[in-house]
Structure 1
Amino acid sequence: MLSITLNGEARQFAEVATIADLIGALELAGKRLAVERNGEIVPKSRHALEALHDGDALEVVVAVGGG
């Protein structure tokens, strides 16, 4: 079980190993979003490569169109 802080809230996930896995678990795959892990932006090209660890703090922001 992975324990992280997501957008300021303590959360636990099973079967989540990478940022890409987390995005899938949150049902955000395919959406325009920005991910910050422990204070650093993670480029989309690295989402599948970046392993998550207990205690990581993530901010996930989804872009919303409009005007």
Structure 2
Amino acid sequence: MKITVNGTSEDLAAQTLDEALRELGYGDARVATAVNEAFVPAAARQAHALEPGDRVEILAPRQGG
């Protein structure tokens, strides 16, 4: 299905947010996620179904100063 990830169009086989993260190479990385501007906690990603056209944001923490 086609979704937008961090502003870039992606065509994924994933049906859930958890599957999408794995397909995109995030695996078990500690990231924050939002779908259509609504925060999705890590515990809810496996049950969060994606729909064509969804907008997914993935944010990873950075260190440094």
TM-score (norm 2): 0.90
Letter in 1 for 2:61: A
Task: Report Cα offsets for 1:12-36 as digits up to 9, x if no partner.
Answer: 112x010000111011122110101
Greater share of residues in strand: 1
Q: Percent identity?
A: 29
Q: CA RMSD in A?
A: 1.1
Gaps of 5+ in 1: none
Q: Take 1:30 and 1:8, find their aligned partners in 2: how far apart are those partners?
A: 22
- The ranges of structure 1 where at least 4 consecutive aligned residues each deviate by more than 6 angstroms after the TM superposition are none
TM-score (norm 1): 0.88
Residue in 1 that maps onto 2:8: 9
